[in-house]
Structure 1
């Protein structure tokens, strides 16, 4: 699986697109915002020499309202402080298959809103750029960035660990039936990728610059408990295996499919940061988000804006979110013919499971300073 060529969220603003099904990710960004805000404030307060051009990058930006929301909030936060930069250089980064067109179509409205809040002259001093490429490699010149943000991206691996189709039969990720060397294979791939990610950013960010990223993680260490086994993928695996038993999907085809993702513990993340040596750790936050957050009252305004009213079937919207993320991977490997059936079954399974048990995502947010 050539991840860099096929990994992207569903494009467009249609019913299955990521842009209309990323409310969960927006909630995650909102949960991380206090740390992001604190990091920006601290960076601004420690600058002895005024910065004329402030360069910021959003890595794994995807597309939709979340992409522009975080950049807009970052700019407004900087504008609240003294020594305002005279210009902003903003970089949107993702893999080549990302829907960059949607981002740039939305920019005029975003700029107008910023002008209304910051000042009419602001739009002439803000420059936006799309940067296509994997963040597991160099993207920017040496010491060219002041602030880097990434949300729900760095837990994606550059590739599926080698040999998974042989040793992880019947599973598409780490599961309770996976042998020990599957866990070890995924962990080694995470170590390799994350270390390279840190090294590249360490070369691109100025001394004293900041980076904040949020990833899916877990709270347990090895040996794992059920926190290790990602239920969103586990349920997908159960659906896939059911379709194999019914002869809708060939078993050997399913065995060759594994998800290129790893959910590390805080200790695993800290270990790699300290080992690589480019950054100092400022803050580590572990947070949880309930799959049923659509009904917890925290997001009533956003739900209203998305035409979701009163008590809703959270499982339906959660399953749509998962489809908008994973569908391109399934289409690339299995083809389009089975995808509708697979996700219809997945939606039913999620509804059944959520009616009987509470499920959560564990998020890790890290604030770092370039040494």
Structure 2
């Protein structure tokens, strides 16, 4: 699987789109609002910028991207009011893989301007789309002031090599052999180090970066919600194999390019790479069991949380499933997945873990 060509969230604004099924990710971004504000204020208090260059990496195509940009701009504008400095212009780069639905994202830009009353001078924001993998260079040297990435760096650049013995699992799981766990860890180490190397070249000295990564608290690689998200999806696919709807070899050959690191792993990789100092590093827990009547109705709040997660997972991985298995299995797979997940809701702690870090370029 060429991840750079296959991996992208469901586009558009339909029922299964990422734009309509990313409330969990928005909750994550909301929880990092203060960290983003602190990073931006520290950046702008050191020196004034005629143009502040911002990049959102792994932006996808929903409203979360513009929510993040709004918070960044608001923090700068508020600081300028306090200091009396003239607000900068903003060059905002929106990055994701080439398959991302940039058209839907760009159609949302006029709404961004409407967030500011016409009676006020609106910030001058200039947007550009940048297709490409953030595991490579995307921008010229010393060109960025602030980089943000949320809920993206748990996606690896590729499925690790030599994990053929993972068999019925589709990621790290309780039954994964030790070599599989090590292969996923090594791939994360390689990818995250490359990410830091590239950003070190692109961010100016004193520039800031805030990253939020789906992670875990324990060193046990299958210890948190993200793991059983994949385990239950594997179970749904296994049911379809037993019913003759999917070839067993097809399932054996399928693995998800995802890894959830611990806070200690993230810290270690940053310190070893050496280009950034850590100004803040925390673990967040995001409750996914909350009821949201705007999305679904007619089910209990507990079941609602599970259904919301299923919709979120489908928006994120449907394209990978389509590429590997074809379009004939998607509805049946997620019907089974929903039943398995809602059943699990009452038996598991309803949280996902995220590692959030604020960095300063040395």
* TM-score, with structure 1 as normaliser: 0.92
Identify if the C-alpha distance between structure 1 residues 181 and 43 changes in structure 2 by more than 3 Å, giving closer, same or farther: same
1:1-371 equivalences under 5 Å are 1-47=1-47, 50-82=48-80, 83-114=85-116, 116=118, 119-122=120-123, 125-164=124-163, 166-221=164-219, 224=221, 226-227=223-224, 230-294=227-291, 304=294, 312=301, 313-371=304-362
Please say if residues 148 and 212 of structure 1, whose CA atoms lie closer than 8 Å, have aligned partners that are also in contact: yes
Q: Over residues 179-228 of structure 1, what are the superposed CA-to-partner deviations in whole Å (9 max), with x where a residue is unaligned?
A: 1110110011101100000000000000000000101101112x556338
Q: Over residues 74-111 of structure 1, what are the superposed CA-to-partner deviations in whole Å (9 max), with x where a residue is unaligned?
A: 11110111334431100000000000001111111211
Partners of 1:89 and 1:170 lie apart in 2 by 46
Which residue of structure 2 lines up, in the alignment, with residue 300 of structure 1?
none
Identify if the C-alpha distance between structure 1 residues 160 and 257 changes in structure 2 by more than 3 Å, giving closer, same or farther: same
Partners of 1:204 and 1:318 lie apart in 2 by 35
DSSP-derived class of the 1:81 partner: helix
Per-residue deviation, 1:36: 1.1
Partners of 2:361 and 2:326 lie apart in 1 by 43
Please say if residues 210 and 358 of structure 2, whose CA atoms lie closer than 8 Å, have aligned partners that are also in contact: yes
Identify if the C-alpha distance between structure 1 residues 259 and 322 changes in structure 2 by more than 3 Å, giving closer, same or farther: same
Q: Over residues 297-344 of structure 1, what are the superposed CA-to-partner deviations in whole Å (9 max), with x where a residue is unaligned?
A: xxxxxx55x576995422222211111111111001000001100001
Q: Over residues 20-77 of structure 1, what are the superposed CA-to-partner deviations in whole Å (9 max), with x where a residue is unaligned?
A: 1111111111011111111112222222xx2111000000000111111110111111
Structure 1: state its 5+ residue gaps: 296-302
DSSP-derived class of the 1:162 partner: coil
Structure 2: state its 5+ residue gaps: none
Range with greater deviation from structure 2 (105-114 or 60-69)? 105-114
RMSD between aligned residues:
1.8
Please say if residues 56 and 149 of structure 2, whose CA atoms lie closer than 8 Å, have aligned partners that are also in contact: yes
DSSP-derived class of the 1:19 partner: coil
Per-residue deviation, 1:4: 0.2
Partners of 1:362 and 1:184 lie apart in 2 by 21
Please say if residues 209 and 360 of structure 2, whose CA atoms lie closer than 8 Å, have aligned partners that are also in contact: yes
Please say if residues 78 and 84 of structure 1, whose CA atoms lie closer than 8 Å, have aligned partners that are also in contact: no
Identify if the C-alpha distance between structure 1 residues 114 and 152 changes in structure 2 by more than 3 Å, giving closer, same or farther: same
Please say if residues 218 and 265 of structure 1, whose CA atoms lie closer than 8 Å, have aligned partners that are also in contact: yes
